[in-house]
A = this chain, B = another copy of it.
């Protein structure tokens, strides 16, 4: 294995714990998440035996293992999300509940550090015999929860459990020890996180070893024997440095690439960078829906062939959209390029956000781009990775907003918030961002360095944006300084406390078209405004029948902010080509009213190209 000497200089993300969100769009969602979703997830984990499994494995109660072998992970993910919530809003009741669960987990850990209640209770003799059985996947989520809990409360108790478990892995696996290609990636990125808080090199090195194990025929287990799936299903078909194409199970693939991006920061291996760049292009340019959804097929919960993006049967697991944000956030920091933050934005306002109801207690596992009316949000799933993934993803969105670079600060996402960033030189800058994003493209930034300070302020210019204006201290910024570089406006200047920057992004409704290769969307258009992809659903369009209408791309929409609808959305009102009035709503907000059809890609009327 080649590990390059040169250290890759990425940006440093500003952790969400240092980002105070006071945003009109996100703040109410975070409240709902904490007050509703968190309770729903804890209740369900309780009801379904997920929490009890730990108590039983720890010998604290009598009983039998209930549910699936990966159910531990749901508890960990809720715990992780709860810890994130606690970081920004203390809540003694929630803290007590978490503490109780931490004690159960601790009890369930075996003396050698092993922790996976399914095997402990059901088949201890079969530990480490089937790589598809999510032992390390569970372990990875434990680590993420432990790190979050430690960061939120300062308590080491769960972190110690996690370290014992990781050290146990280290005794079993690694160079010269047993082979292991975990069926569902997750442990790798978790180990890098554990390295981050403990400073122990062995954790990221174990992560690297686990990554390098893949693609060499070491896979053993039920999944590898399935004729029509094979090793590609869990990215075990080629060594990771030889990856060219995105394949297999979507969430697994994204977690793998996320880990590779994490590891490369420590290893500096250019082959990893090259593989990531290749597979990113392959994913985004050929295998991603306009919503940011990925993985079209229910069969393998994943990828099929290039440009296979059917709408009604789109699988687009919520977890995959979230994982896409994880990966793209890392890519953004690695490359300092806005196109990756564009994808994070896409998931935030579309593919991931659609997974949760406005009320916070109904979920989508599958996020199709069209439905005849049968697809609905439900309370919980047998396999409930998606609700618990939302429970940890949403409270941590603050981490995507700002980053520190060698030369200054980058604003990667637009939402009203405040943060203080430590510059490379040692001094601090407080940034206050005010915006009505995603409904309005005006972003105001107040820049407060401790004193006169020269540094670079980068503002992302979203990929959807065709034109903008930029002002500093009320004056138009001109020349090179007003132009995009790697997807950012780069304002290098001397900043004084109280300086203001205003970015006005033009935010019209635009009709977008797929690449011609996407058969499902030939003759179709979708509408987007700013980062928000729109859809048309039965509710609000009583007269329309699924797919029996068409739009002209040139037909204008009145874009109207309706504060009292769907939690406050900009509704697009327009007409179909035959003159019927209709209403489009953000895709993420669909199926929050009466049941009915929904479509993102609508038929385009023939005369679309008039005047060109």
**A residues in contact (CB < 8 Å) with B:** 284-285, 288, 290, 339, 342-343, 346, 461, 463-470, 476-480, 482-485, 506-515, 518, 529, 554-560, 572-575, 579, 581, 607, 609-612
Contacts and interface: CB of A to CB of B under 8 A. Distances in A.
B285 A556 contact: no
A510 B556 contact: no
Contact of A611 (B346, B506, B507, B511): B346
B484 A556 contact: yes
Given A463-B554, A508-B506, A573 B483 contact: yes
Contacts of A467: 508-509, 529, 556-559, 572
23 contacts: A288-B611, A290-B612, A342-B611, A463-B610, A464-B554, A465-B508, A465-B556, A467-B509, A467-B529, A467-B556, A467-B559, A467-B572, A469-B558, A476-B560, A483-B573, A483-B581, A484-B575, A485-B579, A506-B507, A506-B509, A510-B510, A513-B612, A515-B609
A489 to B, nearest CB: 8
Contacts of A483: 558, 573-575, 581
A384 to B, nearest CB: 30
A469 B285 contact: no
A233 B479 CA distance: 50
Nearest to A309: B612
Max chain B C-beta neighbours (<10 A), residue from A285, A290, A514, A558? A558
A134 to B, nearest CB: 33
A131 B477 CA distance: 61
Max chain B C-beta neighbours (<10 A), residue from A467, A468, A477, A509? A467
A560 B465 CA distance: 15
Interface SS majority for chain A = mixed
A285 B558 CA distance: 26
Contacts of A518: 612
Nearest to A509: B467
Given A558-B482, A574-B483, A610-B285, A466 B508 contact: yes
A556 B468 contact: yes
Nearest to A476: B560
A573 B480 CA distance: 9
Contact of A612 (B479, B506, B514): B514
A610 B508 CA distance: 19
Contacts of A290: 611-612
B478 A339 contact: no
Max chain B C-beta neighbours (<10 A), residue from A342, A476, A556, A575? A556
Contacts of A511: 466
A612 B512 contact: yes
A612 B554 CA distance: 19
Nearest to A343: B611
A529 B611 CA distance: 14
A216 to B, nearest CB: 33
B560 A469 contact: yes
A344 to B, nearest CB: 12
Contacts of A485: 579
B346 A461 contact: no
A477 B558 CA distance: 9
Contacts of A554: 463-464
